[in-house]
């Protein structure tokens, strides 16, 4: 065979195999047998071995997987991957519909698309000129992990998209969906693992997450992953609705959920919910609710977003799966704030595909209300299909008259006095030196959302506390190889890695440092608001409650908690020790607290980021825009005042130009910052 003939045959086989894969995975309507498909695949493999220079980038033979990678590369999302708000009742769904109609200023019924909420792991796919270029996990919503080689092994992820008449493929296409494993495939996978002496996966979601995040994509290739798409990461030109998007994605080669449907108004949404709930256990894959999206993209843009959730979508969660089991004991856990939480130790039982042996009892009031006693048979559920809890006691099955349970008056971890304030349901250990609190505080301090000290897990923290090596967070920075050498299961390389992580954590952003401190009522989002508003730890510590409440999103409870934290001498001493240890949190890209007279030329304006900037990552660019006074959103609309466009800006740039929105590049943004007297973050 001559080169030209080989090239023609390779091209024909590649296109033909893509067509058959589309019919099999996207349409569920194959036109050839598996054996015939395999014969053509083997012919293509043979030709590619003979003519390696002719292998096409979209060859289906690339699905076999590549050599192991040393680690995951961070992947900044072109637009944030937001989380959905939840509804748990018909009333909450109707209240959501009222908010939508109010936001759109309409009295008529709103068009929604109701889609099954797949119970898997989110994935983002990037295509350029119709070819798969990149794939990533959700990560923290702003930055994910690059899993491109793994995605190439998933047969329902097309390597090349199908062109459609009258709807040209955009040069850049970013789409999002869910990686799942079907129930039957999950059972087969677990049987194979048991036969090989490997531990079983707890449920299909965990199996999908573990399979997608393999450093060796050849392992992913052997796992039965499938991907269904449901959302754009960037606007797709020419499409004006969610329903049109789903139809278009299926036409160009993706699998979309065939149970998605158009609903007019909340009554039709609730009917779709009830029908899907009735079919839940008969479906071949796990679902845990119904996602309800406003259909028209123009309406979505008008509704916008709140914090990390869109106003134009909500998840109506299914009732949790319930089971019955026996309470073997009631234990007490001590959290980082000293709260004593009663936990039921259960006879193990599987709930929604997960083995459960512990369930929260919340507090003494809940124990009294439900009258939970050791030995009782109880109904348990995974609240929101996640957190196990005791729902009720089956009194008819109680044997004898076991004593009522009371939380202890002393902390089980340290023996300190446990007290309950008049206005609280919780009972707390009053001993600030309590080792259980210290362990939990250190784990919180080192968490991914905090200072992200990788390698500082539960077992290592327990050893550090038990051996007296660490009495507070500042002691972590005094650790060295000699001190770590005597710890169990910690080799020299792991110890060196931990020390490197500790060194890097000295200069984390201020918002993450504030979250890591564990100030009561200050979560990740509020910590970011405080960091942006005050710009430095000293300014925040000096702020009174009035100044704190002036920050949008900070109410009296948060303000009082922050003020109390900085008024406590022990906390001030702990902060001083951290500073002495070289911990210097990085201020956001603004000069200081509100009201200092700093120029904010974009005050009250709305800005959007698109494309890749040369020197600023997305977090830094958002911080800089915030320092200039702008609110940063994820999509371009008539309310957008400024678009910051980097390389490969996609459809947002075209939309901004169409609407007459001001567009600047990275240099323009940095110039704005300098004019305002701001020092841009270092590249």
Tokens of 566: 């900085």
Tokens of 194: 């048991």
* φ, ψ for residue 82, nearest 5 deg: -80, 160
Quote the Cα angle for 261-289-89, to 5°: 105
- Per-run averaged pLDDT (10 residues), the chain, 683 residues: 88 86 65 70 85 84 56 87 88 95 94 95 94 91 90 93 73 95 89 75 84 89 94 92 94 94 96 92 90 96 84 90 90 88 93 82 90 94 70 91 94 86 77 80 90 92 91 93 86 91 94 91 84 90 89 82 87 91 83 44 85 78 79 79 84 82 90 77 50
Point out the catalytic residue in the list 102, 117, 155, 427: 117
Q: Please enumerate, as own/partner, the contacts of 566-572 that have beta carbons within 8 Å and a separation of 24 or more.
A: 566/540, 566/541, 570/432, 572/541
Q: Which residue has the tokens 């500082």?
A: 456
Tokens of 161: 């998209």
* φ, ψ for residue 115, nearest 5 deg: -130, 140
Tokens of 531: 């960091």
pLDDT the model gives residue 25: 56
Tokens of 185: 């495939």
Q: Is 639 a catalytic residue?
A: no
Tokens of 425: 């349901």
Spell out the domains of the chain, with CATH numbers in brackets.
3-64 (1.10.287.610), 85-317 (3.30.470.30), 322-419 (2.40.50.140), 432-505 (1.10.150.20), 510-580 (1.10.150.20), 606-675 (3.40.50.10190)
Tokens of 276: 């899907």
pLDDT the model gives residue 162: 87
Distance CA 90, CA 499 (A): 52
Distance CA 497, CA 276 (A): 49
Which 3 state secondary structure label does DSSP give 32? coil
Distance CA 340, CA 299 (A): 47
pLDDT the model gives residue 66: 46
pLDDT the model gives residue 501: 94
Of 96, 122, 86, 83, nearest to 384 by C-alpha is 86
> Mind spelling out the 3-state secondary structure of 209-253?
HHHHCCCCHHHHHCCCCEEEEEEECCCCCCCCEHHHHHHHHHHHC
Other Cβ atoms closer than 10 A to 466: 11
* φ, ψ for residue 45, nearest 5 deg: -60, -40
**Which residues, 6+ apart, have CB-to-CB distance to 278 below 8 Å?**
none
Quote the Cα angle for 449-587-538, to 5°: 105
Which 3 state secondary structure label does DSSP give 438? helix
What is the distance between the terminal CA atoms of the chain, rounded to a whole angstrom?
54
Distance CA 84, CA 315 (A): 6
Distance CA 524, CA 517 (A): 11
């Amino acid at each position: 065979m001559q080169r030209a003939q080989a090239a023609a045959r390779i091209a024909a086989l590649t296109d033909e195999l893509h067509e058959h894969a589309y019919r099999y995975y996207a349409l569920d309507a194959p036109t050839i047998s598996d054996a015939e498909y395999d014969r053509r695949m083997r012919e293509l493999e043979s030709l590619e071995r003979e003519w390696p220079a002719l292998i096409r980038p979209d060859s289906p033979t690339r699905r076999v997987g590549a050599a192991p990678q040393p680690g995951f590369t961070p992947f900044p999302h072109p637009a944030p991957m937001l989380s959905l708000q939840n509804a748990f009742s018909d009333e909450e769904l109707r209240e959501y519909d009222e908010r939508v109609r109010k936001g759109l200023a309409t009295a008529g019924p709103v068009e929604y698309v109701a889609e099954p909420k797949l119970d898997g792991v989110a994935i983002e796919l990037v295509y350029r000129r119709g070819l798969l270029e990149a794939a990533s996990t959700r990560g923290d919503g702003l930055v994910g992990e690059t899993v491109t080689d793994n995605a190439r092994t998933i047969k329902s992820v097309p390597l090349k998209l199908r062109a459609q008449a009258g709807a040209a493929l955009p040069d850049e296409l970013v789409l999002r969906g869910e990686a799942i494993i079907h129930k039957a495939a999950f059972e087969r996978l677990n049987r194979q693992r048991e036969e090989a002496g490997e531990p079983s996966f707890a449920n299909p979601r965990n199996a999908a997450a573990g399979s997608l995040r393999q450093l060796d994509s050849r392992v992913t290739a052997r796992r039965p992953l499938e991907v269904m798409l449901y959302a754009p990461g960037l606007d797709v030109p020419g499409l004006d609705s969610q329903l049109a998007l789903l139809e278009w994605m299926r036409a160009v080669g993706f699998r979309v959920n065939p149970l998605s449907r158009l609903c007019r108004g909340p009554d039709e949404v609730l009917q779709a919910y009830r029908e899907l709930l009735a079919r839940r256990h008969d479906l071949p894959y796990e679902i845990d609710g119904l996602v309800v999206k406003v259909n028209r993209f123009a309406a979505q843009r008008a509704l916008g977003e709140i914090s990390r959730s869109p106003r134009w979508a909500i998840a109506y969660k299914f009732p949790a799966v319930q089971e019955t089991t026996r309470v073997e004991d009631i234990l007490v856990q001590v959290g980082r704030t000293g709260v004593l939480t009663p936990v039921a130790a259960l006879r193990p039982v599987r709930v929604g595909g997960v083995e459960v042996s512990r369930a929260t009892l919340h507090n003494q009031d809940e124990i009294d209300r439900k009258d939970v006693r050791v030995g009782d048979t109880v109904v348990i559920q995974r609240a929101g299909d996640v957190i196990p809890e005791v729902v009720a006691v089956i009194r008819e099955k109680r044997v004898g008259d076991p004593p009522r349970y009371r939380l202890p008056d002393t902390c089980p971890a340290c023996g300190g006095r446990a007290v309950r304030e008049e206005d609280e349901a919780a009972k707390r250990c009053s001993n600030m030196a309590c080792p259980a609190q210290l362990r939990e505080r250190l784990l919180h301090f080192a968490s991914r959302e905090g200072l992200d000290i990788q390698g500082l897990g539960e077992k290592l923290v327990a050893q550090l506390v038990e051996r007296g090596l660490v009495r507070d967070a500042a002691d972590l920075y005094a650790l060295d190889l000699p001190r770590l050498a005597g710890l169990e299961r910690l080799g020299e390389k792991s110890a060196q890695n931990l020390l490197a992580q500790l060194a890097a954590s000295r200069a984390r952003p201020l918002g993450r440092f504030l979250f890591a401190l564990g100030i009561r009522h200050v979560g990740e989002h509020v910590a970011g608001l405080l960091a942006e508003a005050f710009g430095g730890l000293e300014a925040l510590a000096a702020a009174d409650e009035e100044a704190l409440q002036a920050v949008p999103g900070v109410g009296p409870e948060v303000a009082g908690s922050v003020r109390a934290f900085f008024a406590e001498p022990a906390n001030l001493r702990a902060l001083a020790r951290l500073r002495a240890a070289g911990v210097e949190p990085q201020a956001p890209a603004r000069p200081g607290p509100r009201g200092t007279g700093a120029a904010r030329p974009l005050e009250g304006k709305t800005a959007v980021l698109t494309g890749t900037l040369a020197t600023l990552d997305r977090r830094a660019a958002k911080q800089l825009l915030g320092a200039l006074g702008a609110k940063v959103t994820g999509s371009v609309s008539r309310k957008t005042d400024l678009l910051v466009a980097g390389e490969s800006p996609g459809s947002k740039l075209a939309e901004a130009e169409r609407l007459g929105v001001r567009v600047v590049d990275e240099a323009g943004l940095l110039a704005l910052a300098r004019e305002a007297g701001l020092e841009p973050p270092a590249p």
